[in-house]
Structure 1
Amino acid sequence: MDQAMDQAFEETFEETFEETFEETFEETFEETFEEAMESPTVERMSLQDESYLCLLCLKDSTERITQLYLTYITLRQNYSHEVPPVLFTVLMILHDKRQGLLEKLTSHYPEYMETGKWHVAEEQNTQLNNMTQESRDDLHQVCSTEMRLLMLITEMMRQQ
């Protein structure tokens, strides 16, 4: 059972978070820019604001995923008294990705970060309506990863 849970956790991380993170990081901002240039009559937030909000949402989501992963490791430790080293490796990868996002936000959007623009979840949710559909879809995939991890942790807690 422990191996099955570890496998499910690793697959969830590898298949959804990594792919979505890379796609969002590399492609979404270029596509958002192209889309904004193609249809300038549509009311939406500026490219700078959309890029900032995407990065901010990714950072916040990565923090939550890291916490869920840490919870899983703790439960695993309490349940089986063993934690495979690969789980700590994944935790470090998540931490590094979160730090990278924070550094990017701080260096590219210092005034937004200083003022705490959209740092409250309700503000972020309100602003999501002003983003392109593609950006919202990409962020939705990351949120789906959070939900899958939460379901795995819930299942593990039920089995204990």
Structure 2
Amino acid sequence: MSGSLTHLNERGEAHIVDIGDKSVTRRRAVAQARISGAEATIAAILAGDMKKGDALAAARIAGIMAAKKTAELIPLCHPIPLTKVSVDIAGDGAASIKILASAETNGQTGVEMEALVAASTAALTLYDMAKALDRGMVVSDIRLLEKSGGKSGDYVHQP
């Protein structure tokens, strides 16, 4: 791990990072989350057979909305003018669903948190939509897969 903890000042107190002198660059991040459960539950979600409605559409919208509200949810995040957010949801075997969320901006700070919040919120929305069928579902594997732009350069998760 490189660098210092930028959200702490010289006295060890939390603060929002000053990004005023950073260059505006094209920034992109991709994050994932996974929800696992009984095969019948996962099949019902993917088939659109939920009493609450289209779980996949609700999860996509929830993820996009969450990305836009990241600075309200994560205390030291800057509000970022997002240029694009996408949430892709697909089956990943018979008993799990993988969510991939991407966020983009032209700005002075990265969009990793926006992508992570989008992916995790989409997974939680799927849980909410299907919990009547399976309260034992597990949300897991929330992670940054890649990021580009900014002074720290590119990052790609190595499994």
Output the TM-score relative to the length of structure 2: 0.28
Question: Higher strand share goes to which structure?
Answer: 2
Output the TM-score relative to the length of structure 1: 0.28
Question: Higher helix share goes to which structure?
Answer: 1
